[in-house]
Amino acid sequence: MAKAGDKVKVFYKKETIEGVLMPEEDSKFIFVKLDSGYNIGLKKSLVKKIDVVKVKKSVKSKSKKIASKKGLPKISILNTGGTITSKVDYSTGAVTAKFTPEEVLELFPAVRNIANIDAVMVRNIMSENMRFDHYNLMAKAVEKEVKKGVSGVIIAHGTDTLHYSSAALSFALEGINIPVVFVGSQRSSDRPSTDSLVNLVSATMFITQTKYKGVFLCMHENNSDNTCIVSSGTKVRKMHTSRRDAFRPINTPPVAIIDYEKKKIKKIAKEKKAVGKFQLKLFNPKLKVGMFKFHTNIYAEQLEPYKKFDALLLEAFALGQAQIIKQDAFMTENMKIGKLVKELARKMPVAVASQCIYGRIDMNVYSEGRELQKLGVIGNYTDMTPETAFIKLAWLLSNHKKNVRKLFSENIRGEISERSEKEGFLV
């Protein structure tokens, strides 16, 4: 009888499929890892028979203790989950997290000549499950490494909410005096096109070969393996579901471009010193901060649940417009929406960001924007992404509750560009 990890030949319908039998996850299906690295699910009722081609052999791998190299800086890699620090066990077809220093260097041997690596498992979760508690956990883990005197910290993270976390730590790590670089992988480590190696090595180069301080994100510049771009933690966003160059700097050029092949770094932003004493400014995990996306044909009742929240971010149209003015007989609902927005803004901070992603809010151009300001909505002249604006709103409520309305539109961690440059569009 075939077992997980065996090389098998499955006679399915009118075809024969070969691969490694994976552990059962569904009683109605079997899963096979193909030679290409992809997995395929086959309905058991349509499987004629399964022949074992090769029985799995259990091999205990031993990682050799790796001595530190004199003269190299020390970097800590904090793992929070995601595929970047995972390794495929082709005997079982399963992807498992590998995270001792020895295992990291086994996965990324090119790093050993750049820095001495320490590795810490903080969490091992899918990034879509991140909560404010996890941001605090990451911030405390960074603080611990800073006290050890490391040259920099890399945070390995799933890509789905990578830009939320980079923004969160940008605010939480006040006065951080080393580079903290978030790194992810769009392609899993069992695929030939994985971007994990290039991303992590590029982040290591950035830490060891520059003097930047703060929180950053390092991912592919394009679909090739030539270069990576380093973006500010508050000015970056995931802009594609699967491309390796999914993360783009928004409304600003990248901080630096890392040429992985030539081992060179092109600095674009100025290297700035840390401002103030390093301290943690954490999130209140009990806060309820909402995000509401305006769309056509909305009803006031859709905003009703937010009455029980602590703050609300409105994703408005373009320069900051929303359906709050009546222009013809079909718009009676707009007046109800405006009334409710006013009620919410009296109870809590209600801020605005643009659905357009690129560009700056200017609520003085159209009557809807001017009316929103009269209703108490804040955020005019900002150019934050909705995700960064959401994180900033939560962070301000956690640390500057009395001054949220004033500070939301002030540039605190580089989240608001001083001026809008054409080079900031689709960089």
Please compute the mean of the pLDDT values over residues 229-255 and round it to a whole number.
95
Name the residue type at position 220.
H
Angle at which helix 132-147 crosses helix 162-172, to 10 degrees, equals: 60
d(CA 419, CA 270): 16
Contact in structure between 120 and 78 (CB atoms under 8 Å):
yes
Domain termination site, one of 280, 310, 331: 280
Can you tell me the mean pLDDT for 10-39? 85
**276 and 358 inside one domain:** no
- Give the end of a domain, one of 246, 280, 314: 280
Q: Identify whether residues 340 and 400 lie together within a single domain.
A: yes
Q: Whats the size of the chain, residue-wise?
A: 427
Q: Looking at residue 251, which CATH number applies to its domain?
A: 3.40.50.1170
Are 269 and 301 found together in one domain? no
Asked whether residue 327 is assigned to any structural domain, the reply reads: yes
Following CA atoms 246, 251, 256, 257 in sequence, which dihedral angle do they give, to the nearest 10 degrees?
40
> What are the tokens at 280?
């943690």
Same domain as 172, residue 91? yes
Residue 86 within a domain? yes
Residue 338 burial class via C-beta count within 10 angstroms: exposed 0-12, middle 13-18, buried 19 and up: buried
Q: What is the reported pLDDT for 101?
A: 64
Question: How is the chain split among helix, strand and coil, in percent rounded to 5?
Answer: 30, 25, 45
Instruction: Please give the average per-residue pLDDT across 367-391, as a whole number.
Output: 97
CATH code: domain of residue 371: 3.40.50.40
Q: Give kind and range of the element (H or E) at residue 232.
A: strand 227-232
Q: Can you give the pLDDT at residue 223? A: 87
Q: Is residue 69 part of a domain?
A: no
Residue 36: per-residue pLDDT: 73
Instruction: Determine the pLDDT at residue 211.
Output: 96
- At residue 8 the predicted structure's pLDDT band, cuts being 50, 70 and 90, is very high
Are residues 311 and 203 part of one domain? Answer: no
- The predicted-structure confidence for 248-277, as pLDDT tens digits, reads as follows 999 999 999 999 999 999 999 999 888 899
Highest mean pLDDT among 83-87, 410-414, 421-425: 410-414
Of 243, 258, 280, the one marking the end of a domain is 280
Which amino acid is it at 397? L
State whether 217 and 347 are in the same domain: no
Residue 114 lies in a domain: yes
Beta sheet of 350-354, edge-to-edge order: 289-293, 311-316, 350-354
* Any domain includes 424: no
Do 293 and 262 fall within a single domain? Answer: no
Highest mean pLDDT range out of 29-33, 43-47, 283-287?
283-287
Pairing state between β 173-174 and 227-232: unpaired
170 shares a domain with 234: yes
Query: Can you tell me the distance from the alpha carbon of 281 to that of 136, in angstroms, rounded to the nearest whole number?
Result: 9
Q: Which residues of 18-54 are buried (b: 16+ CB within 10 A; e: fewer)?
A: ebbbbeeeeeeebbbbeeebeebebeeeeeeebeeee
Find the mean pLDDT for residues 233-240. 97
Radius of gyration of the chain (CA): 25
13: exposed, middle or buried (C-beta count within 10 Å: 0-12, 13-18, 19+)? exposed
Asked if 151 contacts 74 with a C-beta cutoff of 8 angstroms, the reply is yes
Predicted pLDDT at 33: 83
Spatial separation of the C-alpha atoms in residues 118 and 102, rounded to whole Å: 9
Specify the CATH number for the domain of residue 17. Answer: 2.30.30.520
pLDDT digits (tens, 9 = 90+) for 380-390: 999 999 999 99
**Residue 289 in tokens:** 């901060």
Domain membership of residue 210 (yes or no) is: yes
Question: What does the mean pLDDT of the chain come to?
Answer: 90
Query: Do residue 95 and residue 167 come from a single domain?
Result: yes
Distance CA(204)–CA(186), nearest Å, equals 18
Sorting pLDDT into bands at 50, 70 and 90, what band is 23? confident
Q: Quick check: pTM over 0.75?
A: yes
Task: Kindly state whether residues 228 and 350 are assigned to the same domain.
Answer: no
Kindly report, residue by residue over 143-199, the tens digit of the pLDDT.
999 999 999 999 999 999 999 999 999 999 999 999 999 999 887 665 656 788 899
- Mode of pairing for the β-strands spanning 116-121 and 173-174: unpaired
Q: Which H helix or E strand runs over 152? A: strand 152-156
248 & 117 share domain: yes
- Give the span between the Cα atoms of 38 and 42, in whole angstroms: 13
Q: How confident is the model at residue 67, as a pLDDT?
A: 74
Assess whether 274 and 293 both reside in one domain: no
Average pLDDT, integer, range 207-233: 95
Residue 302 reports pLDDT greater than 80: yes
Residue 140 is part of which domain span? 74-280
What tens digit of pLDDT does each residue of 79-124 get? Answer: 998 766 666 555 555 555 556 667 777 777 788 889 999 989 899 8
Place of tokens 């009334």: 339
> Which amino acids are annotated catalytic?
83, 159-160, 238
For the chain, the domain total comes to 3
User: pLDDT band at residue 34, thresholds of 50, 70 and 90?
Assistant: confident
In a domain, 24, yes or no: yes
Dihedral sign, Cα of residue 394, residue 399, residue 401, residue 407 = negative
- Alpha helix locations (H) across 91-131? 101-107
Is residue 102 assigned to a domain?
Answer: yes
